[in-house]
Structure formats: C-alpha cells, structure tokens
A and B are shown apart, each in its own frame.
Chain A
Amino acid sequence: MTASLADNSVIRFARGVRLQHDRVRDRWIIQAPERAFIPDPVATEVLKLVDGSRTLGQIVTELAGRFTAPVDVIGRDVHVMVTDLITRQVLTA
C-alpha cells in the first residue's frame, strides 16, 4: 500500500478515523477505534487538508504556499508523515 504512494494519490482518512476539534480542551484530536491521538501542530495542518479529494501533491503545494517553504522539502516531510499515518491505519491512499 505504501509503495504506491505517489503525488497523484488521493489521501483519505481510514474508515472510522477522523480529525476533530476538541471544543472543551481547545485542541485538535484524531478520533480512532477505541483511542484518541493528539497530532502535533505540523500533522494537524496536513490532516486539515485531507478531505478525500486532494492528492498528496496538492496537499504539499498548498502547505508550501502557506508556509512559504520549498516544495521539495515540504514534500519529503509530508511523504514521510503520510506513510507513517498509513502504517498506523489513520490514513489510506
């Protein structure tokens, strides 16, 4: 599954997993089967862009524009992060 991760892969949340704002504690959380994770601020920005239609490449472009950073640097970091989240059954591609 991870081997096929490419710029044109559409990134989705795995069924039963979602990013949600925790109103009471004022923070973002990943809701998953029988557990909740707290994503770090960078992961949070990536996950906010996961809408089931954006590709990996579009997410990278969006972030590079927003943080005025080189696309190849952002691309590498996001690729590593998304691969990790796929392994942890948070995302699918």
Chain B
Amino acid sequence: MTDTVLPPMSLLAELTHRCPLQCPYCSNPLALEPRATELATDEWISVLDQAAEMGVLQVHFSGGEPMSRPDLPALVRHAVGLGLYTNLITSGVLLNATTFPVLVEAGLDHVQLSFQDIDTANAEHVGGMKGAQARKLEAARLVVCEGMPLTLNFVIYRENAERVPQMLEAAVAMGARRVEIAHTQYYGWGLVNRAALMPTAEQLEMTTRAVDAAREKYAGTLTIDYVTPDYYADRPKPCMGGWGRRFINITPSGRVLPCHAAETIPNVAFPNVREGMLADIWRDSPLFNMFRGTDWMPEPCRSCDEREKDWGGCRCQALALAGNAAVTDPVCALAPDHDKVVEAISSLPAEPPPFRYRRYARAMDEVG
C-alpha cells in the first residue's frame, strides 16, 4: 500500500483552540487543547517546511481563532516564501485596521470569514459574543477594500435556515467573491447540539431552492459552495476526499490527523509532529493507514461501484452513529446502520433545546 500513497494537497493548520466565540456547532473536539500545549512558532515553521517539501499546495490557517496567535503574520510570511497558497479561516472579530495590514504585507492570499447568521441578534446569540457582528462586517469591508479575495462562510442550522436568501444578498453587497452556504456537520460540538441545530427536510429544500436561484442570478459574480447536512442524503459524502488521500490536519498541540474529528477514533495512537517527521506520519502511521484506500472496507462498500467516489463516507460519522468507525457510513441508504440516521431525524424535538456552548474544560463536565 505504501507505494501508492499520494502526497497530500492541503494542510489545515489549527494554530490554537482559543477563540472569542463559543459557537455550539464548532468543529473543534470537545476536549479543547489549552494554550500551554500549543506548538511554538519554530515548530510550526518546521511543519510548513515539511508540508511544502511533501507536496502540500495550500495551507489553511485555522483554529479556534488563528488571529489569537501573535505569530500568525510570521507563519503566513514563511508559508508564502515556500510557495504555499495561504488562506486565513477566521471569525473576523480580531481582524481590524491594525492587524490586517500586517497580514497583507506578509503576503496572505485569501480570507474565509465566518458568519453565524445575517440577523445580528441571533448571530450574537449563537456566537456568544456581543458586538461580534459589527466587527465581522468591518473585517469583510477591510478585506474587500484591500482587493483580497474574500469567501464568506455562513453556517446553516435550524434557527437561521430561512434567511439563506438574505445571506446571499448580503454576500454580494459585501463584495465577496465566494460564499459557502454550509449546513452544520454533526461532529464534536455539533453532535452534542444536534437536536438544536438539525433543520427539517422542508427547511433543507428551502435552502437548496434559495441557492439554486442565487447561482443563476449571480453567475459570474459570486461562486456559491453549498454543503448539505448529509443525514438527509442517501449516499454519503466523500469525506476529506478519502482518508489519508489529500488532506492533513494538525491540531494546536501538533497531533497529525486525517480529519479534524479523527481524535474520536478509539484504539489507535495519534502521531505528533513533535515525535516524528510529517512525511513518515503521512505514509506509515497506523492512523493514516487505518482507512486509506479500499482494503479496509466491509460490505456493502467493498463491492460497491461508488467505493472510489465516496470512499465509504465518513469514518467519524460511522463511529458516532453506529459505534464502529470501520463500518459503512450510516448515511448511506445501503448501510446496515442506516436506521440510526432515520431515527435521528424522526426524533428531532418540535422545539429545539437550548445550546450547549463551546467552552473549555469546565463546561466539559456538562457535556460529559
């Protein structure tokens, strides 16, 4: 198998789990890593050197809020020097007329800015930070004013699904080149809050219609990426383009993962850049080889014509829903555990329960 391992295309560098926001659908793990364990600047520099050497083309600086790290401009500058395409995935609440020009000067290529909603009151209810919306709008203005390409990321869930048309109009008004209308994915905090976040089938249809209409209306002006909640699909998503095929994720403390939710996988060691070289980890570690390719697949995946398109779906979702990461993603209508998905949808409460916010350890006790 090691002969056929292709180099990764893309690195998600989670510089920190610290964030001024507390979004209840955050993709970070429930066990947030404290500042004291974060990789130092020189460790990230070495990661970037190794990634470029391996063939990574794009580095996505993410978090938490990556702008919480004062060395972000230095890391961007270093990545640019290596020919890496640099993307900042940010909440925007720390992006202002003082902090942004430093990133521009460092050579940053692109900004992806997240919005919790277009309605300010609900956006700040979900993000848990008063005044955040005004800062985000100002961040968008600064990026567009500079001429840098901007992607807006609107996360869609039950309470804001009806406002997708307004979000798309706002994206055009803000001068964004791309917008992601991304339904919440149900991992980590999103899974904990699934009953509060999951839209109804009718809401999903409505958002799909809004996206289709806007694609026609704004063709050539605005590119729309649309991510659906796959619980309503009958075939699974090709999660990460296949395990260990294109994508490498590094957590604040240096753990190297095939996806940002992989730390839920039991009975396997998580390799760390502090203990090994990235190329060796990518090629040889048990974690990266666990679900690489198709050899690991059970039926019905093993004999399925789609096996090299969807790669069996998502391992973390198989674990979360079926209790076993090595089975077919229960989202697939052919999966033995598909009833778990049907059950999750049919048991949605009429009134969404309150959020459990993304917080450090103390709140961990609450979510058990």
Contact = CB atoms under 8 A, between A and B. Distances in A.
B348 interface: no
A24 B83 contact: no
A66 interface: no
A30 B110 CA distance: 14
A89 interface: yes
From A25, A33, A87, residue with most partner B Cβ within 10 Å = A33
A29 B112 CA distance: 21
A16 B109 CA distance: 5
Contacts of B110: 16, 33-34
A89 B220 CA distance: 7
B217 to A, nearest CB: 15
B149 A16 contact: yes
A66 to B, nearest CB: 27
Contact of B58 (A14, A17, A25, A36): A36
B165 interface: no
A25 B7 contact: yes
A31 interface: yes
Contacts of A34: 58, 60, 87, 110, 112, 151, 178
A78 B85 CA distance: 27
B148 interface: yes
Interface in B25-66: 54-55, 57-58, 60
A80 to B, nearest CB: 15
A3 B216 CA distance: 19
A15 interface: yes
A8 interface: no
A89 B221 CA distance: 8
9 contacts: A2-B220, A20-B83, A25-B55, A31-B109, A33-B110, A34-B87, A34-B110, A36-B58, A89-B177
Interface of A: 2, 14-17, 20, 22-25, 29, 31, 33-34, 36, 87, 89
Given A24-B7, A33-B112, A34-B151, 11 more contacts: A15-B147, A16-B109, A16-B110, A20-B57, A23-B55, A25-B55, A31-B57, A31-B58, A33-B177, A34-B110, A34-B178
